[in-house]
Chain A
Amino acid sequence: MTDAATTVILPLLAVHEAEVLKEWLQRLRGDVGFAGDRMREGELQGQCTRFLRELRTGLEAGAATIDSGAFGNLRDMLADLSASRATQGFSPRETAVFVFSLKQPLFDVLQRHGQASADAALTANWSIGLLLDSLGLFTMEAYQRTRESLIVRQQQEIAELSTPVIKLWDGILALPLIGTLDSQRTQVVMESLLDAIVQYSAATAIIDITGVPTVDTLTAQHLLKTVSAARLMGADCIISGIRPQIAQTMVHLGVELSVVSKATLADAFALALSKQGRTVTRVKAAAPGTGA
């Protein structure tokens, strides 16, 4: 594929590298999406110089596609570059344009200094275009990967943030769940609940699902897993805060929780207290007139 590129482009690149570099930098800076303020001047130039050098090394080694070993350094460099741009907040366009904007300078140099016949020049242009396209796509892939890993990390952080275990009383814990319960979150919830059961030597845990938007069969299964694990540690679980619509959906779906459940956290707390032989009473009778 790159035979034409190697024979035609490589000699040109060797001689006119400075010219290509200058035009490329100009194009990069002139691009509407270019965010020059986020990068130091020398940094961009350094990246461009290194890219051209690695590209030449690859072509000299006769690499046919970007997957070949000769382009290993170039791939590493592009991966680093797109990763750093993704974390710096560059847009996909700003990242992709780095590679794609090299096409025009190369074409210009080919036009101006090329000795080859029109046919050979066309083939060379086509194959260098293909090569740059695949490099550009590779850059975007790396960029996307970095963004995705960022999202995954944030998801983990959210999962950890949103599972607080609260001590309500001696031996009574509350676990207010907020958001959808998937298997990954269930794992985090379960671990923090079980650790808290040990830490506070709790006998009762109240799982409040007021903040869970939907309860389907899978969510119910996750809840039951948590309940079973807590029971294995010797703690009883009470589920509270099932909203009316959710209760209806659960019945329609045939979801059976087979756990003690209460409508509100307050009811569940009262039950947990009574299990300990405690009850909540008024200190003294309300003064006449203030009551109902």
Chain B
Amino acid sequence: MDRIPILKLGSALLVTIQVDMHDQLATALEEDLTSRIVECNARGVLIDISALEIVDSFIGRMLDNIAAVSRILDADTVVVGMRPAVAITLVELGLSLNGVKTALNVDRGMELIRPQLIAGDDDGD
């Protein structure tokens, strides 16, 4: 089964979803990401969904779950690059992902979690 790659960038993790998500892939991602956060001692998670065209309530909930789990593990989650159609769909589904930070692109998302990352570096030193 193919998995979604999780890249480590300093003390942040970058997940780029390039394929259409099916439920199994989403569950696998949730598990992988959780263990990687602990492994890498990550302080921030960036999920780039700019290539994601189709979402359903399950994927929406998965994003919410990932954010909640990373919050418990002291990492900020930022969902970046959501398409307009996807945003409308999620709102219509009643999933406004209140616990998740959002940004227009990876650049802005990085800016958003930078304070967290710097704080994490200070801790390490």
Interface residues of A (CB under 8 A from B): 187, 190-191, 194-195, 197-198, 201-203, 225, 228-235
Contacts of B90 in A (CB 8 A): 229, 232
B70 at the A/B interface (Cβ < 8 Å)?
no
The complex places the Cα of A190 from the Cα of B11 at a distance, in Å, of: 36
Q: Are the C-beta atoms of A235 and B97 separated by less than 8 Å?
A: no
Contacts of A235 in B (CB 8 A): 104
The complex places the Cα of A228 from the Cα of B104 at a distance, in Å, of: 14
Interface residues of B (CB under 8 A from A): 79-80, 82-84, 86-88, 90-92, 96-97, 102-105, 108-109
Q: Are the C-beta atoms of B88 and A234 separated by less than 8 Å?
A: no
The complex places the Cα of A197 from the Cα of B105 at a distance, in Å, of: 11
Contacts of A230 in B (CB 8 A): 87
Contact of A201 among B79, B84, B97, B104 (CB under 8 A): B104
Q: Are the C-beta atoms of B102 and A233 separated by less than 8 Å?
A: yes
Q: Are the C-beta atoms of B108 and A203 separated by less than 8 Å?
A: yes
The complex places the Cα of A57 from the Cα of B72 at a distance, in Å, of: 79
Contact of A232 among B87, B105, B108, B109 (CB under 8 A): B87
Q: How many contacts between A and B, using CB within 8 angstroms?
A: 54
Contact of A194 among B88, B96, B97, B102 (CB under 8 A): B88
Contacts of B84 in A (CB 8 A): 191, 194-195, 197-198, 229, 233
Q: Are the C-beta atoms of A198 and B96 separated by less than 8 Å?
A: no
Given contacts A191-B88, A225-B92, 10 further A-B contacts (CB under 8 A): A194-B84, A195-B84, A201-B104, A228-B91, A228-B96, A232-B87, A232-B91, A232-B97, A233-B82, A233-B102
Contact of B102 among A190, A225, A234 (CB under 8 A): A234
6 tightest CB-CB pairs across the interface, nearest first?
A194-B84, A234-B103, A228-B96, A232-B87, A234-B104, A234-B102
The complex places the Cα of A233 from the Cα of B97 at a distance, in Å, of: 11
Q: Are the C-beta atoms of B91 and A234 separated by less than 8 Å?
A: no
Contact of B82 among A195, A203, A225, A234 (CB under 8 A): A234
Q: Are the C-beta atoms of A225 and B91 separated by less than 8 Å?
A: yes
